[in-house]
Amino acid sequence: MPNGTWKIARRGNAQLPLIIVLALAVVLVLIGKAQSGLFDAARVRITDWMAPALAQVRAPLDGAERWAGSIGEIFRVYEENLKLKEENGRLRQWRNTSVVLEGRVRHYEKLLNAVPDPALNAVLARVIGRASRPFLRTMILDAGTVNGARPGQAVMDENGMIGRLYLAGKQTSWLILLTDINSRIPVSIAPGRAQAVLAGDNSASPRLDMLAPNIRIKAGDQVVSSGDGGLLPSGLPIGIVVADGDGFRVALLADAAQSETVQILNFARPKEEMPAAATLPAEAAGLQPYVPPPPATVATMAPQPLPVAKPKPLPMAPISQTAPADAGTE
């Protein structure tokens, strides 16, 4: 019996703390529901009080993480360095090739007396605004007429052409994107130099219009500006041809949404003064140009005599040659 009584008492003493803990838990939950702000304030105070200790405990762990991360960063930088060296070598080869080809082209142009292309200069501008409306997709640049910006000029970023100017103020200018529904520019498709029109339709990839029936293009062909009409310089990189059902579209190289700094290309051709029409045939035949006589003035004009009207003779009656009848009887 004593042993059995001790076991019962032991079980009762073990269950008593559990009931107390459950009751305290219920009370804390109820108090937390009723006074949530009180517990939040207490939590904040405890966190503030333990912050220095947590920082000291965390410092060795942060140092170990930085050390482990730096090892991985070192290997990653090393790999990138190798790739950049390889790419730099390829770029040097292409640069040497382009220099040789450029000199050869200039030599051929000199032999053929070819008309050189007009010089290009660029104005660097930053994008300070964007507008995306249902029928208008534009960007605002911080360069205007005082910087040489003019309507119609091409705008490029580091990847390719993104649009052209259509408004220019003194300090700012508005750029219409190639994807805008109002954008139409002549393009050339290489290889083969097929001519087409790049038409925007408010989608990410403009379409190719006005392709000749006998023109054969395929996905992956390069699209550049053709320069037809003299509005844009030729050879500006634009995009790559992609198939779209029965037609073709162009995947643009430049992403206007990511462009922050752009270049405005100044391609204004000088206006040509045409000679007078009377001098053209003589100059074409190798003769001296025609010099018109000086206009006569009132002081050098000699007075001309007025014409005098001559009197007209009066008509005379006809004279009869026959004698009268009574002249023979005398």
Q: Does one domain contain both 17 and 130?
A: no
Residue type, 133: R
pLDDT score at 327: 44
Domain of residue 250, CATH code: 2.40.10.340
> Of the ranges 142-151, 189-198, 211-220, 273-282, which one carries the lowest mean pLDDT score?
273-282
Tokens of 229: 């009409």
Question: Would residue 51 count as lying in a domain?
Answer: yes
Residue range of the domain that includes 64: 2-70
Q: Does one domain contain both 131 and 28?
A: no
As for how many domains the chain has, the answer is: 2
Q: Does one domain contain both 49 and 125?
A: no
pLDDT above 70 covers a percentage of the chain that reads: 69
Q: Does one domain contain both 130 and 261?
A: yes
pTM of the model: 0.52
Q: Does one domain contain both 151 and 38?
A: no
Question: Would residue 327 count as lying in a domain?
Answer: no
Question: Would residue 37 count as lying in a domain?
Answer: yes
Question: Would residue 77 count as lying in a domain?
Answer: no
What angle separates helix 36-111 from helix 2-34, to the nearest 10 degrees?
60
Of residues 230, 166, 164, the one with CA closest to residue 198: 164
294 has a pLDDT exceeding 50: yes
Rounded distance, CA 188 to CA 233, Å? 12
Q: Does one domain contain both 66 and 180?
A: no
Q: What is the pLDDT of residues 95-154, one digit of tens each?
A: 888 888 888 888 888 888 877 666 678 889 998 888 766 656 788 898 888 888 888 889
